[in-house]
Chains A and B, each alone.
Chain A
């Protein structure tokens, strides 16, 4: 059974600081997704990573994928308050119509 583990599960950081969220998964997959969820809201797609070594950046967020290590990272640069949200990684598997298996999420709080 595929397991997806995120750490940390809770992250409190000061504005202007950098930090990284880690996503480990237990079986082979060539597709990894990062989503953002604001309280009481749906999931917003941030990145889709399709191959080993893939790196994508949007604003202060940068995601990377190492399929050999089964590891993805979400790096936050110079955090701002507006980045406060819960971040999920999800891995696609062939079963169940190519479903997504989600990590538990990382709650990010950026303090001004």
Chain B
């Protein structure tokens, strides 16, 4: 298994540009999440999905959109990029059984908006 993969690894955007951050998992996990990590901080939840076709907002959704057309893919769309969106973005997916659950994180996308 490749686990959770993200592309691109790095990106520089100009203010007002748009882009899509890609996230794919091959573990057949239903739950997927997008977090952002600002310098020196923990992660904050942007959007999440409990399964294909179902998405919902997290704590900091403004300026972002998501879709979940398949179990494997959970892209994050930035419209009209702003400097406040400079951050590292992590995608995660979740496995659950009776023992509890684990979130598995992708390698991250480092985004700079100038």
Contact = CB atoms under 8 A, between A and B. Distances in A.
User: Does B bind A?
Assistant: yes
- Contact residues of B: prevailing secondary structure: strand
Contacts of A48: 100, 102
B74 interface: no
Interface string B72-114: 0000000000000000001000100001111111111010000
B100 A96 contact: no
B44 to A, nearest CB: 8
A28 to B, nearest CB: 16
A86 to B, nearest CB: 9
B7 to A, nearest CB: 14
A40 B99 CA distance: 31
Given A31-B100, A97-B48, A99-B48, A42 B107 contact: yes
Contacts of A103: 42
B13 interface: no
Nearest to A104: B42
Given A42-B107, A45-B102, A4 B56 contact: no
B56 A105 contact: no
Interface in A88-112: 88, 90, 92, 96-100, 102-105
Most buried by B among A88, A97, A100: A97
Most buried by A among B43, B102, B106: B43
A43 B27 CA distance: 18
A50 interface: yes
A105 B42 contact: yes
Given A48-B102, A99-B33, A104-B40, A43 B56 contact: no
Interface of A: 4, 31, 33, 40-43, 45, 48, 50, 88, 90, 92, 96-100, 102-105
Given A4-B42, A42-B108, A103-B42, 4 more contacts: A31-B100, A48-B102, A96-B48, A100-B103
Interface of B: 31, 33, 40-45, 48-50, 56, 58-59, 90, 94, 99-108, 110
A-B interface, 6 closest residue pairs, ranked by CB to CB distance from nearest: A102-B42, A97-B48, A43-B105, A42-B107, A42-B105, A102-B43
